[in-house]
Amino acid sequence: MNAASVQVSPSHANQPSNVPSGALKLTVLGATGSVGKLIVSQALGAGHSVTALVQTMPLGGIDPRAAVVCGDATDPEVVDRAVAGSNAVVSALGHVKGSRNDVLTTATRNVIAAMHAHGVSRLVVLAPPSVTDPSDRPGPAYRLANVVMWLAKRSLARDHQMQARLIEASDLEWTIVRGAKFTDGPHTGLYRAGPITKNAGTRVSRADLADFMLTTATNGTFIHSAPLVSE
């Protein structure tokens, strides 16, 4: 059984108000990243429609079944075009070489504005474990990793934290998905999703992380929570 399913409480089991049953129209940001491209492929494989927001078209292109909007997520007009007509937004944006330190905060402001403008309520966003949640009770490994992240990459950690605070302050049906250390392991569909505790795993395959993000975006689970996804 999918370990994420046992974490869903009645308060998390509400279907997003604008999401119909069956195939959905999803906007995916960070669609060429290591997790984002798996979200796109899994969503298309499940019969959903996808609009992929990409800064530049990658070598080899994008799956031809996906609609593509080229541009920067820090540009509000680009984000507005990508979000229009969608039922839900899934963001796997991250920092890359040359990106500004506040890229996530700026992009998230644009996403929230576009979602309000187009009546889209469901937002699922990828974040690192350094984004904290009141329900966390981390063991030594995660406490140490958090300290290292803030010491080594303070500006990036701050951007992730600011992004999370913007999302939490919104009136959207949001989920902040915190991924453990990514691996290239297989897509198993078996993972744990919940607060960071001393028993939380320290890694997760990108394919399983994409699976969880797609599942919670389409099923409306884990609304207003920030689960860690791990093996």
Q: Alpha carbon of 163 to those of 98, 109, 170, 183: distances in Å? A: 19, 8, 11, 24
Please name the residue ranges forming H helices in the chain.
36-45, 76-83, 103-118, 140-152, 154-169, 206-219
- Helix 154-169 to helix 103-118 angle, to the nearest 10 degrees? 20
Residue 103, token pair as written in the block: 């890229």
Is 178 a member of any domain? yes
What's the pLDDT score for residue 143?
A: 80
204-223 residue pLDDT tens:
999 999 999 999 999 989 99
* Structural domain containing residue 225: 3-10+24-230
What's the pLDDT score for residue 21?
A: 52
What's the pLDDT score for residue 12?
A: 31
161-184 residue pLDDT tens:
999 999 999 999 999 999 999 999
> Which of 128, 111, 122, 136 lies closest to 222 in space, CA to CA?
122
Is 19 a member of any domain? no
d(CA 6, CA 17): 23
Is 17 a member of any domain? no
Q: What is the CATH number of the domain that holds 154?
A: 3.40.50.720
Is 129 a member of any domain? yes
Q: Per-residue pLDDT for the chain (231 aa), expressed as one digit of tens each? A: 333 333 332 223 333 444 445 789 999 999 999 999 999 999 999 999 999 999 988 777 788 999 999 999 999 999 999 999 999 999 999 988 777 889 999 999 999 999 999 999 999 999 999 898 999 898 888 887 777 777 667 788 899 999 999 999 999 999 999 999 999 999 999 999 999 999 889 899 999 999 999 999 999 899 999 999 998
Is 15 a member of any domain? no
Residue 189, token pair as written in the block: 């569909």
What's the pLDDT score for residue 157?
A: 84
State whether residue 129 is helix, strand or coil. coil
Q: Which residues pair with 176 in a beta bridge?
A: 125
Is 16 a member of any domain? no
pTM of the full structure: 0.87
Number of domains the chain is built from: 1
What's the pLDDT score for residue 153?
A: 76
Residue 74, token pair as written in the block: 């820090």
